[in-house]
Amino acid sequence: MKPIAAEHPPAKPDGADFKITVKKNAAKKERKLMTVKEMGDLLGLKKTERYYLLHKNCFTTRTIAGQTWIDRESFEEWYANQARYHKVTGEEPGQELSRHSYSVRDIGEMLGISEARAYELVQEKNLEIILVNDWKRVPKEAFDRWYAGQHHYRTAEDRMRDRQTEKARLRPLYRRLQAMQPATERCGAFLGHCWRQRR
């Protein structure tokens, strides 16, 4: 009886295991890191502006084998907290930023005034501002505090609510006027009759 040969996978040529490991590591690295060129392409930037952002230390970087890599997580965090640069994929920037602050344009839209008037308002009322990439933004808490302490400017929601309150307040008065209208008409007819009689 012949001995049963143990089943072994076919032998791989030298270095094949190493190449597979390098490919797996490269795939993991691609998920966590991106090159400066990939970052620039994602934002639609030319070489100079790519390196401008890099040297401003906007995101965490690593140097591997002489090449600079950008940490994707830090890139996404930076992107969510700025409003100047836009991804070519169409994803809106500043999503985290808009949770905590308003742009001057946002304030203008909320109050139904022009952006220029909103800038004047921010300066006149000395609202707290923060600068994000040279853009003025107002923290939501500061705006809400100012808004609650004044009655001149109203948001669209508040204007609608005020209109409904005003209608409810004036409805009884309007009904009384309507009830008085026939009497007023009779009185007017009587006065007209008297006037004609005098002539």
Tokens representing 156? 């669209």
User: Using CA atoms, how far apart are residues 5 and 14, in angstroms rounded to an integer?
Assistant: 24
User: Using CA atoms, how far apart are residues 186 and 38, in angstroms rounded to an integer?
Assistant: 85
CATH fold match for the domains 28-95 and 97-148: no
Q: Give residue 58's pLDDT.
A: 87
Strands (DSSP E) contained in the chain are 33-35, 61-64, 67-71, 101-103, 130-132, 135-139
Average pLDDT estimate for 113-128: 92
Number of helices (H), then strands (E), belonging to the chain: the values are 9, 6
Q: Give residue 75's pLDDT.
A: 93
User: Using CA atoms, how far apart are residues 40 and 1, in angstroms rounded to an integer?
Assistant: 69
Q: Give residue 179's pLDDT.
A: 73
Report the CATH architecture of 28-95: Orthogonal Bundle (1.10)
Q: Which of 87-96, 102-111, 172-181 has the lowest mean pLDDT?
A: 172-181
Average pLDDT of the chain is: 81
- Where exactly are the structural domains of the chain? 28-95, 97-148
pLDDT band with cut points at 50, 70 and 90 for residue 164? confident
pLDDT band with cut points at 50, 70 and 90 for residue 15? low
Convert the pLDDT of each residue in 19-48 to its tens digit: 555 555 555 555 799 999 999 999 999 999
Q: Give residue 73's pLDDT.
A: 92
pTM as predicted: 0.53
CATH of 97-148, one of 3.90.105, 1.10.10, 1.10.3470, 2.60.40: 3.90.105
pLDDT over 70 percentage in the chain: 74
Convert the pLDDT of each residue in 127-142 to its tens digit: 999 887 677 899 999 9
Own/partner pairs, 52-60, CB within 8 angstroms, 24+ separation: 53/85
Q: Are residues 78 and 59 in contact, defined by beta-carbon separation less than 8 angstroms?
A: yes
Q: Which residue has the higher pLDDT, 7 or 48?
A: 48
Tokens 């030298």, residue located? 14
